[in-house]
Structure 1
Amino acid sequence: MSLTFIRRPAGLQFGGVDVRQLADRAGRTPFFAYERAAIDTRIRELRSLLPPGVHLHYSIKANPMPAVVHYLAARVDGFDVASAQEMAVALNAGAAPADIGFAGPGKSYDDLRRAISSGVNVHVESETQLRLVTALGWELGVQPGVAIRINPDFEVGRSGMRMGGGAAPFGVDVDQVPALLRELQARQVALAGFHIFWGSQCLDAATVIQAQRQSADLVARLARGLSEPPRFVNLGGGFGIPYFPGETPLNVQAVCEAMHDWLPRLCERVSGMTPILELGRYLVGEAGIYVCRVIDRKVSRGRTFVITDGGLHHHLAASGNFGQVLRRNFPVVIGNRPDGVPQQRCHVVGCLCTPLDRLADDIELPEAHIGDLVVVRQSGAYARSASPLHFLSHPEPVEMLV
């Protein structure tokens, strides 16, 4: 008697592993998985294009999973953090304190004390912060590393989120910077650097190039007349990734070619200064997936709803509730049947008692069955950590680095 084996169709491959095997590793759904090889490829390509001497920093807020930060510690030149906990993750990953920048408009007394005692550079964003930092330096008997985050006097037109220009809680207005520089000098505290962050999630190369050129001119102008040049300038990042249909990836080669033109002139005008490019989403965003399982399927008044064990409590950005003006779908596939032919229009929803809990609206997918794995791509940044994990008290998702 012969046996006939039915071959299962191949599932989505991620990190060289079938997504169904990843689900077995996780032990349950939902889960996030982040791919080492994709992160390596992105960093390697970027370094091959950047001018020599540019330091690459990872912005931990994009994805603070300790395993991801530890992995990046050997591949980037430093970290930018926005809380004392992120600072602890960076230090635990082995980063040198001098290679960590602590930014954010609402640093507490305890946050600043921990940063100064650890030797981390504090990017002050107000006169109050500057005075507190310098006072803590005297109290602790150390010379604090102080950089000034600048709210630039220009705005970018095609950035997904503007972080400077106009009235803003971020940074110090350009016209107030000279007074802060004088106060630093009076308090006998050396300036470590400048930090300019003009925006994020920009896919237009011309916009990035213009913002970088304007940032360089601004730094040169502010550094003119200083007795000692700043050790570094953090030029921000702003590099975006495509999420939605019709979006074109950022032409990073064009951005880097322009840097080869304007950066040498900046370094001539401000000698001895290390330029820093701060990136988060661009390094890890496309290296992550979110996987949940179909637990029900129903038709209501002619519309098909695919109900999963995931939702906005794990992935607020995919639901459209993390800043989208018009809700659009992240890339979604049925992970155990990625080559299936789309046969139905449906709404992929989560398990929460709110109509906002939608992972994909009116999307064409292969017919989904109970037990299928729904995979949301572009989930490596601002996903789990930017979501209301405790809403309705469902279990938190697993995270894996593969």
Structure 2
Amino acid sequence: MNAARPQHAPMTQFDVVDDCLQVGGMALTRLAERVGSTPFYAYDRAKLTERVALLRQYLPPEIHLHYAMKANPMPAVVQHMASLVNGIDIASGGEQRVALDTTMDSGLISFAGPGKSDADLSCAIAAGVVLNMESEAEMERIAVAGKRLAIRPKVAVRVNPDFELKSSGMKMGGGPKQFGVDAERVPAMLGRVGELDLDFYGFHIYSGSQNLKAASIQEAHEKTFALAIRLAAHAPRALRTLNIGGGFGIPYFPGEGRLDLEAVGANLKLLLPGVLLALPGVQVQIELGRYLVAEAGIYVSRVIERKVSRGQVYLVTDGGLHHHLAASGNFGQVIRKNYPVVIGNRVTGGEREIASAVGPLCTPLDLLADQMEMAKADVGDLVVVFQSGAYGLTASPVAFLSHPGAREVLV
């Protein structure tokens, strides 16, 4: 029987059994024994599956769901996601190798990102991956590579829109950007696509990320569809695909509410008939990373020393900033807030205290939890950081100070 939820309960997706966090149907203490050492990341395949099912419930059935694997490129996670979604979006040659090792058809893999090398382009063309062209110069390089390989490259134009996703954590479009082709330059570029021997698929329009406001996402969708319809008039052939990005956010910090997915889906249901009428046969894709995997993962480190300094309790752990940069506050570059953190083997009941969980690095920025209320912990207890399934290990400075790495497991 489940006990009371830990602090930050609205943000967590894991059960508590006998005062111990349960991940993938396994008590955390048992999982730690099986992993063999801390620190580690654990991802729950059931939670991943549930999140995809939730999206299928609220989004129109015509929407094709793509996984942006930059959020979590662990091969086992990507393999699992490939069995659930309609496509995979990649951002490097390394990610391409992982994606091609799944059951996903190569034509359902798309490659975005500025600065693709000639080797990246050639490998993608040879594999049949759709290249999202980030510039006119990249388009010309793709054409040259295609002729050299005697293969007609599959391409789409990544558009830098003339609007932003309001209230987004990171703006990926609007204004000057290194991403995509400015919308006003796309018509001329499409004319050149028609002159070259390129297999044109459509557009990729991504305006922002980590947004919790349904109204902002709804407005972005409306503007994205209008822009795509306007630009399609200049295309060398009818659009086959329209990737409208993602931007769906998850709550990390106290006071943040969940995205109203039902409202987002309802608005798409209203918009899609007009889009499909204007762009017959187009496949509308939503590309999500963080929203799919973040809440299905935790980061676990072990307390190696309990220290009191001038009345303040520090739980010194074997993990930290080098494994989980986002939870530490990104090297102090943002106003730091605590991710939801608990003592994983003492989640409910018992004595509680205000404590800070810190790592082993020689910097005061190595901070997993700053003056948080948690169960009173001692040496050997497990510090758990929730919302850690996205932009965790591979988005962290793992070589910093040359400490051991963290393991990753899918359970």
User: Where does residue 134 of structure 1 map in the other structure?
Assistant: 143
User: Does the alignment pair 1:389 with 2:398?
Assistant: yes
Which amino acid in structure 2 is aligned with residue 258 of structure 1? N
Using the TM superposition, give the Cα deviation of residue 399 of structure 1 relative to its aligned residue in structure 2, in angstroms.
0.8
Please say if residues 342 and 364 of structure 1, whose CA atoms lie closer than 8 Å, have aligned partners that are also in contact. no
Q: Write the deviation string for residues 318-371 of structure 1: whole angstroms up to 9, x where unpaired.
A: 001079621000000001111035632221100111111000111111211011
User: Where does residue 27 of structure 1 map in the other structure?
Assistant: 36
Find the residue that maps to 1:356 and give its secondary structure.
coil
User: Does the alignment pair 1:338 with 2:347?
Assistant: yes
Change (3 A) 1:56 1:32: same
Change (3 A) 1:322 1:238: farther
The number of residue pairs the alignment matches comes to 395
Q: Which of 242, 245, 248 matches 2:257?
A: 248
Which amino acid in structure 1 is aligned with residue 257 of structure 2? T
Structure 2 Cα separation of the partners of residues 272 and 343 of structure 1: 59
User: Where does residue 202 of structure 2 map in the other structure?
Assistant: 193
User: Does the alignment pair 1:285 with 2:303?
Assistant: no
Structure 1 Cα separation of the partners of residues 350 and 221 of structure 2: 44
Q: Write the deviation string for residues 281-313 of structure 1: whole angstroms up to 9, x where unpaired.
A: 111100000000000111112222110000011
Alignment of 1:43-122 (within 5 A): 43-122=52-131
Which amino acid in structure 1 is aligned with residue 339 of structure 2? F
Using the TM superposition, give the Cα deviation of residue 32 of structure 1 relative to its aligned residue in structure 2, in angstroms.
0.6
Alignment of 1:188-227 (within 5 A): 188-227=197-236
Identity %: 52
Deviates more, 1:196-205 or 1:221-230: 221-230
Please say if residues 341 and 365 of structure 1, whose CA atoms lie closer than 8 Å, have aligned partners that are also in contact. no
Which amino acid in structure 1 is aligned with residue 92 of structure 2? S
Find the residue that maps to 1:155 and give its secondary structure.
coil
Structure 2 Cα separation of the partners of residues 323 and 185 of structure 1: 48
User: Does the alignment pair 1:152 with 2:145?
Assistant: no
Structure 1 Cα separation of the partners of residues 228 and 333 of structure 2: 32
What TM-score results when the alignment is normalised by the length of structure 1? 0.96
Please say if residues 354 and 373 of structure 2, whose CA atoms lie closer than 8 Å, have aligned partners that are also in contact. yes
User: Where does residue 236 of structure 1 map in the other structure?
Assistant: 245
Using the TM superposition, give the Cα deviation of residue 52 of structure 1 relative to its aligned residue in structure 2, in angstroms.
2.0
Using the TM superposition, give the Cα deviation of residue 227 of structure 1 relative to its aligned residue in structure 2, in angstroms.
4.6
Find the residue that maps to 2:138 and give its secondary structure.
helix
Question: 5+ residue gaps in structure 2?
Answer: 1-16
Deviates more, 1:223-232 or 1:40-49: 223-232
Question: 5+ residue gaps in structure 1?
Answer: 1-7
Find the residue that maps to 1:20 and give its secondary structure.
helix
User: Where does residue 5 of structure 1 map in the other structure?
Assistant: none
Q: Which of 344, 349, 353 matches 2:358?
A: 349
Q: Write the deviation string for residues 234-282 of structure 1: whole angstroms up to 9, x where unpaired.
A: 0000001000000001000100000000111111101111000000011
Structure 1 Cα separation of the partners of residues 222 and 351 of structure 2: 46
Please say if residues 10 and 18 of structure 1, whose CA atoms lie closer than 8 Å, have aligned partners that are also in contact. no
Which amino acid in structure 1 is aligned with residue 194 of structure 2? Q
Which amino acid in structure 1 is aligned with residue 29 of structure 2? R
Find the residue that maps to 1:327 and give its secondary structure.
coil
Q: Which of 275, 280, 285 matches 1:276?
A: 285
Structure 2 Cα separation of the partners of residues 52 and 348 of structure 1: 44
Find the residue that maps to 1:246 and give its secondary structure.
coil
What TM-score results when the alignment is normalised by the length of structure 2? 0.94
User: Where does residue 367 of structure 2 map in the other structure?
Assistant: 358
User: Where does residue 321 of structure 1 map in the other structure?
Assistant: 330
Which amino acid in structure 2 is aligned with residue 215 of structure 1? T
Structure 1 Cα separation of the partners of residues 313 and 85 of structure 2: 46
Structure 2 Cα separation of the partners of residues 321 and 225 of structure 1: 42
Please say if residues 39 and 318 of structure 2, whose CA atoms lie closer than 8 Å, have aligned partners that are also in contact. yes
Find the residue that maps to 1:233 and give its secondary structure.
strand
**Moved beyond 4 Å, runs of 4+:** none
Which amino acid in structure 1 is aligned with residue 394 of structure 2? S
Deviates more, 1:321-330 or 1:238-247: 321-330
Q: Write the deviation string for residues 188-220 of structure 1: whole angstroms up to 9, x where unpaired.
A: 323211001101100000000000110000000
Please say if residues 198 and 211 of structure 1, whose CA atoms lie closer than 8 Å, have aligned partners that are also in contact. yes
Which amino acid in structure 2 is aligned with residue 180 of structure 1? M
Structure 1 Cα separation of the partners of residues 294 and 312 of structure 2: 32
Please say if residues 191 and 235 of structure 2, whose CA atoms lie closer than 8 Å, have aligned partners that are also in contact. no
**Root mean square deviation, CA, Å:** 1.3
Which amino acid in structure 1 is aligned with residue 259 of structure 2? L
Change (3 A) 1:83 1:13: same
Please say if residues 194 and 236 of structure 2, whose CA atoms lie closer than 8 Å, have aligned partners that are also in contact. no
Deviates more, 1:65-74 or 1:217-226: 217-226
User: Does the alignment pair 1:401 with 2:410?
Assistant: yes
Deviates more, 1:370-379 or 1:185-194: 185-194
User: Does the alignment pair 1:303 with 2:318?
Assistant: no
